[in-house]
Amino acid sequence: MQLRAAGWWGLALLLLPVALPQALWARRTALRLPPAAGAQQGLAGGDYTGAPLRLVLLGESTVAGVGVDSQEAALAGQLAAALAARLRRPVAWRACGENGITTDQACARLLPQALAEPADLAVLVFGVNDTTHLRTLHGWDAALRSLSAALAARGVPVAFTGVPPIEHFSALPWLLRRLLGWRATLLDRRLRRVCTEVAAGYHRLELEFAADYLAADGYHPSALGYRLWGEGLAASLSVAVPTLASANA
């Protein structure tokens, strides 16, 4: 892992004269979409009986719902709806997200929100901003452990989603996509190792990055992308976390 990280930095320095202007151009010309409007919590599967499963999502812009108009159409709402359908029970969801946030910032700004109310499952969605901010693997590792430990100390099962494959983000120039995509892969490998060591769940992002699955900015999921992501994540979680079907308020 350390050799791969050193190799990435070596390549990044070599390509800096080309990659830096591309990064500045992408930053200047990127279409900036707002977070989803409306309530940051809700209830899915209200027609089912039984105590609601209390779901909290903690993360970056996808948890904030960037790319769609409402949280019901974003990852939190779509995951809750898919879990409710699979478990045949209500799911009370909360979204604690912030556009542009990194894991170390989330420890200070989002974690208190996530811990403010009891939860039966916490899903953590990070990686893009830590990649683009060039966080070190050590810093990434430490922040992941801090987030997981704080939630686990409250008895909340923790599941991380995989780091999105930035090489498919059409908003970025090709060279920058490839360079950041390799960096994201390094962070994802470290995430998987951390999940194994702290007994947290790891759920790979299973989503095609075709044009229909991306929002107008070419960076965030569209409503269809969020729906398919939520359905795939619900399928993975319902198998990996057997207590979901019996968790109670």
User: Which secondary-structure segment (H or E) carries 97?
Assistant: strand 91-97
pLDDT at 33 exceeding the cut of 70: yes
The pLDDT score that the predictor gives to residue 249 is 41
- Percent of the chain exceeding pLDDT 90 equals 63
pLDDT of residue 248: 44
pTM of the model: 0.88
Flag whether pLDDT at 202 surpasses 90.
yes
So where are the chain's domains? 40-245
Q: Report the pLDDT value the prediction gives residue 11, as an integer from 0 to 100.
A: 65
**What amino acid is encoded at 70 in this protein?**
S
* pLDDT, position 214: 83
**Mean predicted lDDT score pLDDT of the chain:** 88
Confidence of residue 8 (pLDDT cuts 50, 70, 90): low
Q: Which of 78, 64, 59, 220 is nearest to 124 (CA)?
A: 59
Return the minimum-mean-pLDDT range out of 16-20, 135-139, 240-244. 240-244
Beta pairing class for 91-97 and 53-59: parallel
Structure confidence at residue 15 (pLDDT): 74
Arch. (CATH architecture) of 40-245: 3-Layer(aba) Sandwich (3.40)
Query: What is the arithmetic mean of pLDDT over 67-85?
Result: 95
Over residues 102-129, the pLDDT tens digits come to 999 999 999 999 999 999 999 999 999 9
- List, as one string, the DSSP characters of 178-231: HHHHHHHHHHHHHHHHHHHHHT-EEE-------GGGB-TTSSSB-HHHHHHHHH
Q: Residue 163: helix, strand or coil by DSSP?
A: coil
Please choose, from the candidates 189, 180, 183, 124, the residue with its C-alpha nearest in 3D space to the C-alpha of residue 150.
124
pLDDT at position 65, please? Answer: 94
Helices and strands (H and E) in the chain: how many: 9, 6
